Structure 1
Amino acid sequence: MLIHGGSFNPMKALVIAVLLLALAFGASSETAFFSLNRFQLRRIKERYKTAYGRIRTLLARPSRLLIMILLVSELVNLTISSLVTGTLEQRFGGGTHTANQWYLITALSLAINLPLLVVIGEITPKIIAAKMNRIVALVNSGPLYLLYKILLPVLWVFDAAIGFVLRSLKAEGRDHLSKTMSVLSEDDFVLLMEEGHREGTVDPGERKLIKNVFEFDDSTVSEVMTPISQAFSIAANARVIDVMPEIRAQKFSRVPVYGKSKKQIVGILFVKDLLALRNHPGLAETEVKSLMTRPMHVGPNMRLSLLFRRFRESKSHMAVVVNPVSHVRIRQSESGHFDEEAIGVVTLEDVLESIFGEIADERDVLV
């Protein structure tokens, strides 16, 4: 009893204090060990080889480590609750109690146990461990490793039983946690990259490239396209002889071709086709529309990663970005008419520049 015959019982208070420390130890260990990332483990390996060996052993079978922490924590919880409840029963005279006395004992037990177990034994140590997980893991690794070795036979039994239950339920095996922990997440990779940048092992160009790669899958066509009002285009019914000077001046290898207005892109002209036919006697009077090819249409919200795959599959380098409403009509119409409203054009170069930054312009490639 904490209070026996009106006097304080230091022995029982000491036992409860030790048990609370054990509970806090387990709670902090759980948070610290399971929040360590590869970068932190590598730092521990470089500076604290002995502690790293213990941590590596404990994390080799994370299911057993978790079982041990939860098993010990539950035993400590039950012991503290029993001591507090027993003390309250003795305080009310022991023996048989009335219903009202039991209600009071239960209420007082909850009022005492909740702050002790939840606030002091669980929440506070977990918050501390979350903020200082590497330090807590280093400090706790010794006692935890010793306890692990002592309880290993018991842990093996529990681990086998849990594995049997998971297999019976056709759930993921007990090694799934280990596999999950071995996966380097995007956040971990970015953390490694930023640390390397601060230490000078990753230069600014490499850092920007890595960030662009991670952002690539989230970027859309609308972010890199050239608005149709700013894009160079030529009329479909124009004669080649009339547009050739302007095409040479612009020096693009592909040129959008419009119909009634510049928002009605009806094709793509490959300038190399003009160069191949430049000695043809009838080329000068030929209309552009007879040389153009059908354009690929994409929506402004298409992911760049998907557009890149579309470019590769179709072996195209330019696509027309159309209004989302008219983009639906493209799939529904089989008339062959190109009356969708174009809002921009996007090229393979635009997609690649979203990763690698500014690269040689198409103008530098043409004659």
Structure 2
Amino acid sequence: MIAEFIILSICFLFSTFFSIVETAYTSLSHLKVSHLVEKGVYGAALVKKLKDEPSKLLSVVLIGNNIANIGASVLATSIIISFFERRGVQNLGAVLGLATGIITFLILVFGEIIPKNIAIRNSDKIALIFSLPLFIVSIILTPISFVLTVISKPFVSLFGGKISSKGPFLTEDDLRFLIATSEKEGIIEKKERDMISSIFDFGDTTVKEVMTPRPDIKAIDGSVDIKEAVQIVKDTGHSRLPVYEANLDNIIGVIYAKDLLSCSLSKTIRDYMRSVIFIPEVKKIDELLRQMQKNRTHIAVVIDEYGVTSGIVSMEDIIEEIVGEIHDEFEQAEKNFEKIDQNTYLVSGKMPIYETNAELAIDIPVSDGYDTIAGFVVSMLGKMPSVGDFVKHENIEISVERVSKRRITRLKIVKGPIRIEDNIVGG
């Protein structure tokens, strides 16, 4: 009888052990584990090794827990039945029912609820403390775990699942959610969230989405003299300008403003012109950035599938995809809001909805799909915006005044006394 009680106690201890490590390891994030490893915390490397094989870890824990719980149930039932038999109790059904109730209560409370509640509050400490015992147990139970994994794999695959020993353990969606949550909790600011989100989208963005379109290209005719070229650079305010021959479909190079500062008027701009790279519209901007760094160039000509010049793109355009609009020393920062007359206003496309409503005393609806007045207009238009497009909402008309790189940069808002019942879109 004493031996049975000792073995029963051991089963309960193992049940507690497996429950506590199961919760500790599932609650412990891979980021936390990596941080512990970097700090050189004792046992962290072993914890990482166990976490890096989640399917094996789960199998070992479940096998061990089930063996411990079944062993405890069998022994407890045997002890209870023997106890009542020695006292002359013959109603075996009642005894079995009582035994089942007692063992279920003990396993539920001492083998599940208590250890798991302790583990969830101290996951990192418990994972470190029990890393070595768990590693030893995993070695012992590996043969059983392997056999059961092989047997279960076809059934898992049948329902579209996959037993994988490796990650990824942190997906892009997980990171986006983490960033959004951090902003809501005040850990990071909105502009920081926007910058991090831009990095995620960076590799999916094509050159066509960020380039300066052909109608907006400022360029120099290769036949002009140095004096005229200098004046063009002054007028445009750009530090680099493409040079063309005959038309924009024959761009032959690029001229840097700094190269014209100490040039000889007897020479032509071709003597100071630098080579330019040509890239397709569909090229990803992260690939282009690497190419520009390799070639040590800051500007590229964008061509379409027919070889026609469709735009130009600079390194500044690419960087702005992450950090937002960059104004150089020649650019004048525009006001977000400018009143023209009693009912007419010019506003920046990036002006927030709440600020627009407050300044103009209007009621543009807010949505999870947009934060700015430009976002509202695009959502109403349902297409890429062009200058002259307009939308009407209640008693206001919003028209697109300026578009840069497919983004609305300036809008005109006209307030009217008549309330229009239906929203109107036009262009």
- Tell me the TM-score normalized by structure 1: 0.54
2:369 counterpart (282, 303, 316)? 303
1:246 counterpart (335, 341, 347)? 341
- Give the CA deviation at 1:248: 12
- Is 1:32 matched with 2:20? no
User: Alpha-carbon deviations, 1:307-337, whole Å to 9, x = none?
Assistant: 5875794125886464xxxxxxxxxxxxxxx
- Is 1:110 matched with 2:74? no
Report the Cα distance in structure 1 between the residues aligned to 2:78 and 2:131, rounded to whole angstroms: 34
Q: Residue type of the partner of 1:303? A: G
Report the Cα distance in structure 1 between the residues aligned to 2:342 and 2:411, rounded to whole angstroms: 13
Contact 1:308 1:348 in 2 (8 A): no
- 1:194–1:117 CA distance, 2 compared to 1 (3 A): same
Give the 3-state SS of the residue equivalent to 2:43 in structure 1. Answer: helix
| Unmatched tracts of structure 1, length 5 or more | 2-8, 198-205, 217-230, 234-244, 255-297, 323-340, 350-359
The aligned residue for residue 160 of structure 2 is 171
The aligned residue for residue 69 of structure 1 is 61
Report the Cα distance in structure 1 between the residues aligned to 2:131 and 2:185, rounded to whole angstroms: 25
Q: Residue type of the partner of 2:170? A: S
- Is 1:57 matched with 2:57? no
- Is 1:314 matched with 2:314? no
- Give the CA deviation at 1:39: 3.1
Report the Cα distance in structure 2 between the residues aligned to 1:214 and 1:45, rounded to whole angstroms: 26
Report the Cα distance in structure 1 between the residues aligned to 2:133 and 2:186, rounded to whole angstroms: 33
- 1:309–1:28 CA distance, 2 compared to 1 (3 A): farther
Contact 1:299 1:321 in 2 (8 A): no
Report the Cα distance in structure 2 between the residues aligned to 1:58 and 1:347, rounded to whole angstroms: 58
User: Is 82-91 or 54-63 further displaced after alignment?
Assistant: 54-63
- Is 1:144 matched with 2:142? no
Contact 1:54 1:142 in 2 (8 A): yes
Report the Cα distance in structure 2 between the residues aligned to 1:192 and 1:247, rounded to whole angstroms: 42
Report the Cα distance in structure 1 between the residues aligned to 2:159 and 2:123, rounded to whole angstroms: 34
- Give the CA deviation at 1:154: 2.1
- Give the CA deviation at 1:20: 1.4
- 1:118–1:248 CA distance, 2 compared to 1 (3 A): closer
- Is 1:209 matched with 2:191? yes
Report the Cα distance in structure 1 between the residues aligned to 2:13 and 2:99, rounded to whole angstroms: 20
User: Alpha-carbon deviations, 1:246-280, whole Å to 9, x = none?
Assistant: 399955589xxxxxxxxxxxxxxxxxxxxxxxxxx
Give the 3-state SS of the residue equivalent to 2:169 in structure 1. Answer: helix
Once the two structures are superposed, the pairs formed by residues 127-206 of structure 1 within 5 Å of their partners are 127-167=117-157, 169-175=158-164, 178-179=166-167, 181-183=169-171, 184-186=174-176, 188-189=178-179
The aligned residue for residue 327 of structure 1 is none
User: Alpha-carbon deviations, 1:331-354, whole Å to 9, x = none?
Assistant: xxxxxxxxxx357869999xxxxx
Contact 2:30 2:51 in 1 (8 A): no
| Unmatched tracts of structure 2, length 5 or more | 199-336, 350-363, 403-408, 413-427
1:19 counterpart (11, 15, 22)? 11
- 1:146–1:188 CA distance, 2 compared to 1 (3 A): farther
Contact 2:77 2:100 in 1 (8 A): no
User: Alpha-carbon deviations, 1:66-122, whole Å to 9, x = none?
Assistant: 111111111111111111110112112279974xx1222122212321221011001
- 1:252–1:18 CA distance, 2 compared to 1 (3 A): closer
Contact 2:80 2:95 in 1 (8 A): yes
Report the Cα distance in structure 1 between the residues aligned to 2:378 and 2:28, rounded to whole angstroms: 36
Give the 3-state SS of the residue equivalent to 1:117 in structure 2. Answer: helix
- 1:320–1:24 CA distance, 2 compared to 1 (3 A): farther
- Give the CA deviation at 1:153: 2.3
Give the 3-state SS of the residue equivalent to 2:49 in structure 1. Answer: helix
Q: Residue type of the partner of 2:51? A: L
- 1:247–1:189 CA distance, 2 compared to 1 (3 A): closer
The aligned residue for residue 266 of structure 1 is none
User: Alpha-carbon deviations, 1:159-186, whole Å to 9, x = none?
Assistant: 222212222x1421112x8446333455
Aligned alpha-carbon RMSD (Å) = 4.5
- Tell me the TM-score normalized by structure 2: 0.47
- Give the CA deviation at 1:148: 1.2
Contact 2:24 2:122 in 1 (8 A): yes
Give identity over the alignment, percent: 20
* Matched positions, count: 247
Report the Cα distance in structure 1 between the residues aligned to 2:31 and 2:12, rounded to whole angstroms: 32
Higher helix share: 1
- 1:32–1:196 CA distance, 2 compared to 1 (3 A): farther
- Is 1:80 matched with 2:150? no
Q: Residue type of the partner of 1:246? A: D
